[in-house]
């Protein structure tokens, strides 16, 4: 009997050593959660034994439980390195065609594969939600693999240019008249912006501001192509007597615009632009958003091409604390690709460990609950950061020494039992 008790002690000490060794071996594994061997005593009794004098029957391993407290952070330069700060897991799927068959992980070391899909080191696909492009709200809480387009959009021609600025009230009329964009003495100020034709070719658009009299300014526009700068007349605009068709901005005594806040040009074809096959009927509408005439320097607050763009190529990926995956493109456009799916379970201790720092929901853990980062009980997401293993190396080394001593003590008990039996067998 005593030999069996000693053997159970050896087995328990060995289990403790194995658990501690596994923790130490995974000290640098991202998202790893330490394990703890928990033991219970063995006791048996019957109606034929005296419970007051019955000894225990040894020890047994009750469970090897996982400890899900957070590990520390390590900062990286990869925007696709993610960590959950708080409660929750990332969800990954081994097969992108079957996202419902997914696993949970705290290891957020992700990257793009050759199809621009977000995957981890085991090529499991990161799951996320589709979002409404207008409101950036989640369209459906059905998790799907996340793919980032390496190009964004077909070329679109510019039609609307939004402008906001301050024209200095103290400016004098130009010294020379009439307006001529080749002569800087015929206008007071100018500013330029890039617009696009229907093929996505960039063109330089310039606006010239010429003070006519107190509280009145004339505005003229040009567009530059490979052949040089061409004047872009305003449809039904103001003729300054030389055929230049611009428009007027009128301000009141408080420097606020009173008329002329939107003006549409004649076609690019009418301006004689060399379009190289682009749409010659393209026009520009100039929308003035709260321009002012104050006793302050000339200032452009806004000069925005509302709808023009060339084809954009992926230049950057960023993920905010809410899990929104935003891709930036070379044409200056941004697009929210989707939102990283967050998952949790009622009982983390009930998760089945799969290896590769992944777990699977079980009956003991409860069903997977889906949600958004930073919402409810879900933690926030930090990009460029990974969660390190949550083990305490000092404590693990102490546990290692303790397990070793327990093993030695149980081994000694087994040796003593063996010697006693040898002595009994040698009695004559």
Question: pLDDT tens digit string along 365-391?
Answer: 999 999 999 998 999 999 999 999 999
| pLDDT for 143 | 94
**Per-residue pLDDT at 17 exceeds 70:** yes
What is the torsion angle, in degrees rounded to the nearest 10, for the CA atoms of residue 386, residue 373, residue 356 and residue 111? -60
pLDDT at 239 over 70: no
Top-confidence residue, 176 or 46: 176
pLDDT per residue as tens digits for the range 303-345: 999 888 888 888 888 999 899 999 988 877 788 999 999 999 9
Q: Which two tokens stand for residue 380?
A: 């926030």
**Residues in Cβ contact with 49 at an 8 Å cutoff, skipping those fewer than 6 apart:** none
Proportion of the chain above pLDDT 70, given as a percent: 95
Lowest mean pLDDT among 27-31, 403-407, 423-427: 423-427
Residue 32, pLDDT score: 95
Q: How confident is the model at residue 27 (pLDDT cuts 50, 70, 90)?
A: very high
Share of the chain above pLDDT 90, in %: 62
The answer to whether 400 and 24 have CB atoms below 8 angstroms apart is: yes
Confidence of residue 49 (pLDDT cuts 50, 70, 90): low
How far apart CA 144 and CA 93 sit, in angstroms, is 9
Are 138 and 129 within 8 A, CB to CB? yes
Of 79, 92, 104, 190, residue with least CA distance to 143 = 92
List Cβ neighbours of 180 (8 Å cut-off, separation of 6 or more).
Answer: 186
Work out the burial of residue 355: count CB atoms within 10 Å of its CB; fewer than 13 is exposed, 13-18 middle, 19 or more buried.
exposed
Mean pLDDT, residues 241-245 taken together? 67
Q: Rounded CA gap, 128 and 324, in Å? A: 9
The confidence score (pLDDT) of residue 1 equals: 59
When the pLDDT of each residue in the chain is averaged and rounded to a whole number, the result is 89
pLDDT of residue 61: 86
pLDDT at 54 over 80: no
**Residue 51 confidence (pLDDT):** 64
The arithmetic mean of pLDDT across residues 234-259, rounded, is 82
CA nearest 146: which of 102, 204, 209? 102
Backbone angles phi and psi of 413, in degrees to 5: -60, -40
Please tell me the number of Cα atoms within 13 Å of 276 on its side-chain side: 11
Q: Which domains does the chain have, with CATH numbers?
A: 2-69+393-425 (no CATH), 78-148+321-387 (no CATH), 160-305 (2.60.98.20)
Least confident of 147-161, 240-254, 333-347: 240-254
Helix axes 393-425, 2-25, angle to 10 degrees: 160
- Beta strands 312-319; 151-152: pairing state: antiparallel
Dihedral sign, CA of 367, 390, 325, 304? positive
Token pair of 317, please?
């990926």
Q: What is the mean pLDDT of residues 129-135?
A: 86
Find the mean pLDDT for residues 163-190: 92
Q: pLDDT band for position 127 (50/70/90)? A: very high
Average pLDDT for residues 191-214, to the nearest whole number? Answer: 93
**61-104 pLDDT per residue, tens:** 888 889 999 999 999 989 999 999 999 999 999 999 999 999 99
Of the candidates 151, 203, 155, which has an alpha carbon nearest to the alpha carbon of residue 329? Answer: 151
pLDDT for the residue 351: 94
């Amino acid at each position: 009997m005593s030999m069996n008790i000693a053997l159970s002690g050896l087995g328990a000490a060995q289990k403790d050593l194995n658990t501690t060794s596994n923790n130490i071996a995974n000290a640098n594994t991202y998202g790893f959660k330490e394990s703890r061997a928990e033991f219970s005593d063995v006791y048996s009794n019957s109606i034929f034994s005296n419970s007051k004098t019955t000894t225990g029957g040894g020890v047994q391993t009750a469970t090897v439980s996982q400890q899900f407290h957070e590990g520390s952070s390590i900062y990286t330069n990869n925007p696709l390195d993610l960590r959950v700060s708080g409660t929750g897991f990332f969800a990954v799927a081994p097969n992108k065609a079957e996202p419902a068959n997914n696993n949970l992980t705290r290891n957020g070391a992700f990257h793009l594969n050759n199809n621009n899909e977000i995957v981890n080191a085991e090529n499991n696909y990161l799951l996320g939600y589709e979002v409404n492009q207008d409101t950036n709200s989640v369209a459906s809480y059905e998790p799907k693999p996340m793919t980032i387009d390496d190009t964004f959009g077909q070329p679109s021609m510019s039609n609307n240019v939004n402008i906001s600025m301050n024209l200095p009230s103290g400016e004098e009329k130009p010294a020379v008249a009439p307006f001529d964009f080749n002569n800087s003495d015929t206008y007071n100020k100018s500013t330029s912006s890039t617009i696009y034709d229907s093929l996505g070719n960039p063109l330089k658009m310039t606006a010239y501001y010429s003070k006519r009299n107190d509280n009145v300014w004339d505005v003229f526009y040009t567009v530059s192509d490979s052949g040089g700068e061409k004047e872009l007349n305003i449809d039904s605009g103001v003729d300054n007597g030389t055929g230049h068709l611009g428009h007027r901005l009128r301000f009141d005594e408080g420097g606020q615009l009173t008329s002329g806040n939107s003006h549409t040009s004649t076609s690019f074809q009418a301006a004689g632009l060399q379009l190289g096959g682009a749409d010659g009927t393209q026009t520009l509408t100039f929308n003035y958003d709260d321009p002012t005439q104050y006793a302050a320097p000339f200032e452009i607050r806004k000069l925005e091409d509302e709808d023009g763009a060339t084809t954009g190529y992926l230049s950057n990926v960023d993920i905010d604390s809410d899990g929104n995956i935003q891709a930036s493109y070379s044409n200056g456009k941004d697009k929210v690709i989707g939102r990283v799916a967050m998952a949790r379970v009622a009982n983390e201790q009930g998760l089945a460990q799969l290896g590769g720092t992944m777990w699977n929901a079980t009956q003991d853990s409860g069903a997977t609950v889906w949600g958004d980062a930073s919402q409810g009980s879900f933690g926030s997401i930090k990009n460029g950061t990974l969660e390190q293993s949550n083990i305490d190396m000092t404590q693990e080394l102490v546990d290692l020494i303790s397990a070793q001593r327990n093993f030695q003590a149980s081994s000694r008990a087994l040796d003593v039992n063996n010697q006693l039996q040898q002595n009994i067998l040698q009695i004559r």
